[in-house]
Structure 1
Amino acid sequence: MSKLSFRGYANILALAALCAGMPVGGHAQSLPLDPAVHTGKLANGFTYYIRKNTEPKHRVVFYLVNKIGSMQEVENQRGLAHMMEHMSFNGTTHYPKNELVEYLQKSGVRFGADLNAYTSFNETVYQLPLPSDDTSILRNGLQIMRDWASEATLDPVEIDKERGVVLEEKRLRNGAGQRFQDIAMPLQVNHSRYADRLPIGLESVLKSFTPATLHAFYQDWYRPDLQALIVVGDIDEAAMEQQVKQLFGTLKNPAKEKVRETYKIPLTGKNQFLAFTDPEIQRVQLEMLIKLPGTELKTKADYHRVLVEAVMNAAFDERFEQIMTQGNPPYLQAGASSNDFMANLHGFSLNVVPKPNQLQAAFTAAWTEVQRMKAYGPTEAELDRARKNMLQQYEMAYKERDKTSSNAYVREYLQYFLKGTAAPGIGAEYELAKEILPQITIAEVHAYAQKVIQNTNRDIYIQAPEKEKASLPSEATVNEWIAAVNNTKLEPWKEAASGDGLLKTLPMAGKVIKRSGPDSIGVFSYTLSNGATVLVKPTDYKNDEIIFTGFSAGGTSLYPDSLFMSASNAAGVIASNGLGDLDPVALSKVLTGKSAQASPFIQERYDGIQGSASPADLETALQLLYLEFTAPRKDTVIFNGMISRSKASLIGRSNNPDAVFSDSASAILGMHHYRRMPVTEARIEQINQDAAYRIYKERFANAGTFTFIFAGNIDTSKLIPLVEQYIGALPGHAATSSWQDLGIHIPEGKLSTTVFKGDDNKANVNLIYSGPYTYNENNNMDLSALGSILQYRITERIREAEGGAYSPRAGVSFNKLPQSRYAFTIQITCAPANVEKLVTATQEEIAKLKANGPSTDDLTKFTAETSRSVELQLRSNGFWMQYISSHLQNGDPMSSILRFNDRLKSVTVDRLKQAANLYFNDANFIRLVHMPEKK
């Protein structure tokens, strides 16, 4: 339910959010709020934002925003802001106990996925997406928001039950990462109040606080002058505004209001250093953080600064990518950027993951690039590419302005209320970008780099495996490394060569020799002269989106185990090399300012390509597709670098308890087949460049075995000539292709394995029921229903009744090919002492399903959630791409979706009872448990 941190977007584009939420700087006039928003403040101080938006249709999103979080807690309340968020779902005036969640699930709202909330340092936010075509649901949804604002019941019995849930949420954080944060956080926030107010709180407080203490926090801080309601969706704005005024105008502030303090992180002018080791850390990592005074994003001048910063960050990205691609740097990863940090601070950060035993060389190489930027700024070419790419992103957002999701608008208004971050609307932002970007100069970016790359207020954090402790450098040593680079005369950045274009000449076009459609789901079919099949699903879901895929049967299943590593990595290897005469850096430059991409894949049973483009750049995307088939590039330098980094990245994997358990589970569930075993250094060495290149060319040799699918804003009169020109030009002839059944599936029988690894007081439990079944539409629906209903049951039992786990998960997967099989999987993270109790509880819930079937309430929830979910999916290009692909590969009728609602309505309690007895087969049951090591 909770997310303990949140970085909201100031607006639709991440580019314009880089400085979101920074404190005050300057007196220029703030940009006006988007006039499409109805906003107001009631007499009690309650604020509202209401906007009509029809994407998605018949849906509305409510957010209740509270300007309170863990920073408002006193010492005996540490963790209660977060606890209060939990308790809002456990009883309100109009929805006692768990009735709120029950009601919403029956209305088609999924708990955790749709219905959610988060608590951070300075805010607590509740989200509720609802259908808007049912007036009673809409009215009740508004009442729920009103209840959350001030009418939580805080039943002591429910409080005691929820303690366990929050403590289990805290347990999820156990591990090396949390141990590092516990030590690093005070340094990161300069020992300010933030260090002592992590939203998850203290275990001692969570176990012992009294209901009166929680009630006092609620009364003090959940008050209308600190609250806002954001409503965006397919609604009548005037009617909604009137209802908001009536419902929320009666909220009252406390007689004696506590002052909401604004807490800041002081800049001390000092440098800090931490070298942290832990047995579970996999590899060495160094982070430098330079803390800077914060800025805001309110005015035109602020937007100018944000775009200058974005240019610098883009140049850093390009440079590190070029080094990684064209050389063999001493690091596995490296990057630098300037961005918002926390509270009133901005920050410049450098992150380096060195190759084994190369920390000094890795840091020196990365810091050299930081100093080079500080010395010279970006090149003219880098500036030009950044301008074009940013304008292209703004243009895409502008073109989608009538198809922008309600959630995107909500995020804007959330930051506007919390921090005053400008939200003028994409039209105004696009105009600002078109005006400002051409004005940005190298000198400006250079000056900005000099401003943010400072020598004070600098933190350096090194994380490393425990065994590396004796070899780690001291602060003085790292300072010597820094000084050595700073005192070196650096040359300006040297750009890699740019390519001239994707294709020097157009290929010989093919022809459409057969066409049909549209069929029952609106798909047009074309057969090309080279045998390729093209299916087209025109939609109006997005204005500036076309997605596509192409596939052919075969994949790695056609190759022996001795070639498996080369075959399974062939597409990744080739894609990383560039295309034709263009290495990856040159290719990236050729694609500057374009929205077009295509990537090959070779899976176990299928080979193919997938990509996307704006309608304006569709020809570019099809040129990429053509080159992926006809001009794979072989680059030994790039290949050797990939292999070197891949091998180095595996060192220390055995230190990571979660990785060890995951590898063990994959091996067991994959029958210990060679192809399901963990990747090791020895296996990576089996990847042969020549073999990978040969296999890739074999898999993409005959386009006549491929089916291509396009979905999106497609004008077929423009698409088909491009298809003929590029797909029709591919070498090929009409033929069939096939894959081989490798016989790998979850093993049958009963199996129980416990993996002991790590020291944390945390256990992971996986329970799997699996087996063969008869694949058909009704059985698939029954399996889906049982998977969802099992999730309801274990949430109610394991989380709510037992308080034994924060987010127990249950679900089902099933497939027709290569064999018709299903698998139910239950995953629980809990205290080691509770494993047996919670496994027993889970099996008791399954036994109830087998004995009695689901309740009518459970079936109602499943039907409502599934129906509403499918409504949204049907308005998604991605859904149709996946649907058409899977039905073609399975040989299922395309019209199946047209009967979906009838199948959904046909599900009954008795039918699911029979299905539960059939599928929850104790004879095919696997139990995998991860426990801490025995002492």
Structure 2
Amino acid sequence: MKIQNTKLLLLILLSILSSASFAQYKLTDPVPLDPTVKTGTLPNGLRYYIRKNPKPEKKVELRLALNAGSVQENDNQRGLAHFMEHMGFNGSKHFPKNELVDFLQKTGVDFGADLNAYTSFDETVYILSLPTDEPGMLEKGFTVLEDWAFNNLLDKDEVEKERGVVLEESRLSKGSWERMSRQYFPKLLNGSKYAERLPIGKDTVLKTFSYATLKDFYTKWYRPNLMAVIVVGDIDPAQAEKDIIAHFGKAKNPANAPARAALTPIKPRTAPEAIVLTDEEATNTTVQIYNYVKPATPVKTWADYRNGIIEGLVSSLIGQRLSELAQKENPPFIFGGTSFQQFIRGYSTLSSFAVIGQGTAQEAINALMAETNRARQFGFLESELNRTKSSLLNGAEKAFNEKDKSESGQIIFQYVNNFLQGTATPGVENRYKFLQQVLPTITLAEVNAVAKKMPGTENAFAMIQAPAKMKDKLPDNAGLLSALVAANKQAVTAYQEKAVATKLLDKEPVPGKILSETVNEKLGTTDITFENGVTVTLKPTTHKNDEIMMDAWRWGGFGKFALADKENAENAAILVNQMGIADMTPTDLRKFMAGKTAFVSPYINDNEEGIEGRSSVKDLETFFQLTYLYLTQPRKDVALFKSFVTKQKAQLEFVKQNPESFFSDTVSKIAYNNNPWAPGIPSPEDYDKISLDKSFAIYNELFSNAYGMHFTFVGKLDGAEVKPLLLKYIASLPAKPKDVSFKDNGVRLTAGPRTINIQRGKESQSFINLMFEGPIEDTREAKMQLNALVEAINIKITEKLREEMSGIYGGGLYGQVVKRPYLHYTVSANIPCGPENVGKLTDSLYALIKHVQEKGLEQKDLDKVKETWKKQYRVGVQNNNYWLSALSNSWINKEDPENILTFEQKVDALTLEDIQAAAKKFLPLDKAVKAVLYPESVKIPDEPKKAF
């Protein structure tokens, strides 16, 4: 009797476990919303999403999502949805004029990073990241959102000033892409309203719209029943909900407001179409094939979700095969893809694309269609599917492991999409558990059935975009259609693959020994020196549950090789990354790594060589094995080398047709006196100088001897587990004493004052570039003074050149201290603008710099920089990447790593006198090199004489 009861209990337990594992999610049930988020709808229709999330601490992400965009515009409003987004920063009830940006900068908010917005066809989203370490800041944030939603003053003077800013943004969008897109959008979108509603709008409307027209758009569409407030961060959800009700509950919807259509009609295509477009400034040749554009099936139930997973598996499987094709010696394309995907809100497509190299359009189309037809006719292999499932589940598992350590800025977008697009948002736990349950039930037959039903090209839209010089090598519209038909009829055979390796190493290395080990209690780091001369810093953290990061480097680099070997040395690590390790090709390695999270990449800079990567906890030994093999057994492959050269040459053939690329490259040559080691864009001919044997030999010369290499590891490190792996794979690396040094090749900016004028481009676009370079003290204080100066002047550039003069959309200064190959600083000012404004904007920038040199900054501007830096630091120290960068750079630059701990004190010590002195020292206008890009249609004005 006792035995019978035990069996019964066991049967009941197995039944419960089976139910929990395989019937937890019924396919007929609706997909729930992420249970970690609190949602609600106010009586006026406004939706809200609130989620408490502790990463990063004392910070909150806020979004105001408006379910209206450029497709809601009337003909006389084209561009005004986007214009209204701009006006959100130019005067509201609680923040008149430009007080919003000023107020937020004082709290440490970085304009452009923490404070921003975007407008698309169907939506407008406002973005605000706020610190919550001060009382009342969250409530202030809701005041900002409320003003964006309902309290825009639409000050007429501000509207007029903002015209220039938006027109400058429109100017930036012009070029080959914009010219070609205006030709193909009406055909691709089959005459729908989308084709006439690019969010940037029309310049004629932006220049002439009336105040009443703008206000009409705002009144009709900025209303609570089209809005959602999304809050994710280190907050009290109950208080956030009260604040939302207080700030948004009283808003009313306008009477007789127009309905917001759920779907903007796009007519189905009833016959195939094709278009071939060329442009003088296009930089590459692409082919795109849209097999269909149709209304997407809403994902409401778990069955719908499962169907989406199957389509995703099919897309991934085809993508992997196309990736293999791109590695051929003479690849049909540089890279390509085929996938099921969202086309535009409410519509889906099966589309293919390829960037064509030195092959023909027909070859690229043949390759794309062959893989689609191969999948249709023969399906996939069980081995392929199993690997793809494993990778999918691995990604979901990693997200699940990090569910309490994911940063708010990464989380919030899913709730924005749920509101705007109805995207299924079950949360990482539901998604992971559902994948665990459902992936084993998805059969190869099901996947192949979906592949088999992929539509052909009967109603497809095909397009080629290419440089004008390629026109004679391309078909016309009718020829492209014929090419598509021919490609769809070609015979294909079933896909075959060789057996996948089951291990990386044939022979395990003999562990090395520790020479010394010290602990830094302040930093929480351990420094280890091995007998082979390799050193390691370990920094265990709890910032992530399943992340380990590595960077390892030493002095050296490609700059120390002879000029004749520059290209060989510069590309040595890039080539090895393309060719694999040991006897495994990149394709073999990808297949072996399916279901694993480990990535390693060697690199060679001008003055350093190293290796970097990241890993999950469970795949840490695989990660170490990859590192060991890249340093000891790089793989040489003639076919992959030729493929690399072919693709690089094709990508570079027309890159300088882009006016800004041509400008940048030409200025670098002139400003650095044609020094062959100066930065610049390589030419296709440079790749003819590479010898596989020589490049491979250089790689081995640099990496086969690990002496002097310093490894920094940061993340979820367990010393008991990590040390044996370090001994086995790092301490065992071949190493013997060698010179680890870099070489100074004399790259110096030519002395100013000097002006370089360059003409290039069809559009009315100019670009101002000022360059400063010189000596600097090797002190922490000097570096901070330089960076603070740059940040403070950028605040003034926004205020003066953008907001007051309406002369730019974006632009500013960038500065850095460079320690190798010699100690110096560089500062460059980059200002895109209209050619008619070059003179006055340059004068204004010079005047601004002179003002700081002669009279200094205002304290409020320096305070903004300080507060922003301190807030960024407090977030940064909660991030593994910050610690990796700080510790690794401290070692390579021979600086005290404990400087990390005193950053805020050093920031507080900065004074106005420091910045004024820095302006005089680092921005000598009488030594500046000025370069200006003018369009080809403009006569370059005479250079005025400057009094400095």
- What interval of TM-score do these two structures reach, taking the shorter chain for normalisation? over 0.9
Change (3 A) 1:462 1:128: same
Counterpart-to-counterpart distance in 2, 1:366 and 1:618: 37
1:219-618 equivalences in 2 (<5 Å): 219-262=219-262, 263-293=264-294, 294-356=296-358, 358-618=360-620
The answer to whether 1:804 aligns with 2:807 is yes
Counterpart-to-counterpart distance in 2, 1:470 and 1:608: 45
Counterpart-to-counterpart distance in 2, 1:607 and 1:152: 53
Alignment partner, residue 829 of structure 2: 826
Shift of 1:493: 0.8
Shift of 1:326: 4.2
The question of whether the paired residues in 2 share the 8 Å contact of 1:292 and 1:452 is answered with no
The question of whether the paired residues in 2 share the 8 Å contact of 1:531 and 1:735 is answered with no
Alignment partner, residue 781 of structure 1: 784
Per-residue CA deviations over 1:523-551 (Å, capped at 9, x if unaligned) read 10111122211110111111110011211
SS at match of 2:334: strand
The question of whether the paired residues in 1 share the 8 Å contact of 2:365 and 2:487 is answered with no
Alignment partner, residue 912 of structure 2: 909
Look up the equivalent residue of 1:144 and give its one-letter code. Answer: V
Counterpart-to-counterpart distance in 2, 1:78 and 1:230: 28
SS at match of 1:705: coil
Look up the equivalent residue of 1:267 and give its one-letter code. Answer: P
Deviates more, 1:164-173 or 1:344-353: 344-353
1:747-762 equivalences in 2 (<5 Å): 747-762=750-765
Per-residue CA deviations over 1:207-253 (Å, capped at 9, x if unaligned) read 11122221121111111111111111101111111121122111111
SS at match of 2:520: coil
Change (3 A) 1:228 1:653: closer
Counterpart-to-counterpart distance in 2, 1:28 and 1:190: 36
Shift of 1:460: 0.7
Change (3 A) 1:887 1:634: same
- The alignment-based identity, stated in percent, is 36
Alignment partner, residue 59 of structure 1: 59
Counterpart-to-counterpart distance in 2, 1:341 and 1:856: 50
Shift of 1:166: 0.5
Counterpart-to-counterpart distance in 2, 1:490 and 1:142: 59
Counterpart-to-counterpart distance in 2, 1:50 and 1:628: 46
Alignment partner, residue 897 of structure 2: 894
Alignment partner, residue 84 of structure 2: 84
Deviates more, 1:384-393 or 1:492-501: 492-501
Change (3 A) 1:128 1:708: same
Counterpart-to-counterpart distance in 2, 1:396 and 1:53: 18
Shift of 1:28: 5.2
The TM-score, its normalising length taken from structure 1, stands at 0.95
Counterpart-to-counterpart distance in 2, 1:456 and 1:485: 12
- Count residues in correspondence: 910
Shift of 1:853: 0.8
Look up the equivalent residue of 2:556 and give its one-letter code. Answer: G
The question of whether the paired residues in 2 share the 8 Å contact of 1:705 and 1:733 is answered with no
Alignment partner, residue 24 of structure 1: none
Change (3 A) 1:94 1:207: same
Shift of 1:851: 1.5
Alignment partner, residue 105 of structure 2: 105
Change (3 A) 1:577 1:134: same
Shift of 1:304: 1.0
SS at match of 1:506: coil
1:93-242 equivalences in 2 (<5 Å): 93-242=93-242
Look up the equivalent residue of 2:689 and give its one-letter code. Answer: Q
Counterpart-to-counterpart distance in 2, 1:475 and 1:882: 51
Deviates more, 1:276-285 or 1:120-129: 276-285
The question of whether the paired residues in 1 share the 8 Å contact of 2:32 and 2:426 is answered with yes
Look up the equivalent residue of 2:90 and give its one-letter code. Answer: N
SS at match of 1:44: coil
Counterpart-to-counterpart distance in 1, 2:822 and 2:739: 20
Alignment partner, residue 927 of structure 1: 930
Per-residue CA deviations over 1:472-497 (Å, capped at 9, x if unaligned) read 31344334333334334321012244
Shift of 1:784: 1.0
Counterpart-to-counterpart distance in 2, 1:793 and 1:216: 33
SS at match of 1:502: coil
Per-residue CA deviations over 1:887-922 (Å, capped at 9, x if unaligned) read 112211111122211111111112211221122112
Counterpart-to-counterpart distance in 2, 1:355 and 1:116: 37
The answer to whether 1:624 aligns with 2:626 is yes
The question of whether the paired residues in 2 share the 8 Å contact of 1:383 and 1:442 is answered with yes
Look up the equivalent residue of 1:672 and give its one-letter code. Answer: N
Counterpart-to-counterpart distance in 2, 1:819 and 1:530: 29
Alignment partner, residue 22 of structure 1: none
The question of whether the paired residues in 2 share the 8 Å contact of 1:527 and 1:534 is answered with yes
SS at match of 1:703: coil
Counterpart-to-counterpart distance in 1, 2:697 and 2:46: 66
Counterpart-to-counterpart distance in 1, 2:649 and 2:77: 48
The question of whether the paired residues in 2 share the 8 Å contact of 1:532 and 1:703 is answered with yes
Match of 2:691 among 688, 691, 696: 688
SS at match of 2:549: strand
Alignment partner, residue 876 of structure 1: 879
SS at match of 2:349: strand
Counterpart-to-counterpart distance in 1, 2:732 and 2:653: 45
Per-residue CA deviations over 1:486-530 (Å, capped at 9, x if unaligned) read 334321012244223201221111122211103432210111122
Per-residue CA deviations over 1:584-618 (Å, capped at 9, x if unaligned) read 11111111111011111111111111111001101
Counterpart-to-counterpart distance in 2, 1:303 and 1:511: 52
The question of whether the paired residues in 1 share the 8 Å contact of 2:628 and 2:733 is answered with yes
Change (3 A) 1:751 1:220: same
Match of 2:714 among 711, 714, 728: 711
The TM-score, its normalising length taken from structure 2, stands at 0.94
| Over 4 Å off, 4+ runs | none
Per-residue CA deviations over 1:728-785 (Å, capped at 9, x if unaligned) read 1111135552222222233332221111111111111111222111121111111111
Change (3 A) 1:28 1:270: farther
Counterpart-to-counterpart distance in 2, 1:180 and 1:110: 35
CA RMSD, aligned part only?
1.7
Look up the equivalent residue of 2:281 and give its one-letter code. Answer: E
SS at match of 1:341: strand
Alignment partner, residue 39 of structure 1: 39
SS at match of 1:89: coil
Deviates more, 1:575-584 or 1:717-726: 575-584
Counterpart-to-counterpart distance in 2, 1:797 and 1:812: 20
Counterpart-to-counterpart distance in 1, 2:681 and 2:65: 45
Shift of 1:451: 3.0
Counterpart-to-counterpart distance in 2, 1:283 and 1:125: 32
Change (3 A) 1:654 1:780: closer
Per-residue CA deviations over 1:146-178 (Å, capped at 9, x if unaligned) read 111100100000000000001111111110100
Counterpart-to-counterpart distance in 2, 1:706 and 1:535: 11
SS at match of 2:431: helix
Change (3 A) 1:524 1:548: same
Alignment partner, residue 663 of structure 1: 665
Look up the equivalent residue of 1:642 and give its one-letter code. Answer: F
Change (3 A) 1:35 1:497: closer
Counterpart-to-counterpart distance in 1, 2:730 and 2:557: 20
Look up the equivalent residue of 2:283 and give its one-letter code. Answer: Q
The question of whether the paired residues in 1 share the 8 Å contact of 2:86 and 2:162 is answered with yes
In structure 2, stretches of 5+ residues that fail to align are 1-26, 939-948
Shift of 1:378: 1.7
Change (3 A) 1:28 1:162: farther
The question of whether the paired residues in 2 share the 8 Å contact of 1:817 and 1:890 is answered with no
Per-residue CA deviations over 1:410-435 (Å, capped at 9, x if unaligned) read 11111111122121211100011112
Counterpart-to-counterpart distance in 2, 1:604 and 1:650: 21
Deviates more, 1:670-679 or 1:58-67: 670-679
Counterpart-to-counterpart distance in 1, 2:656 and 2:234: 51
The question of whether the paired residues in 2 share the 8 Å contact of 1:90 and 1:158 is answered with yes
Alignment partner, residue 864 of structure 1: 867
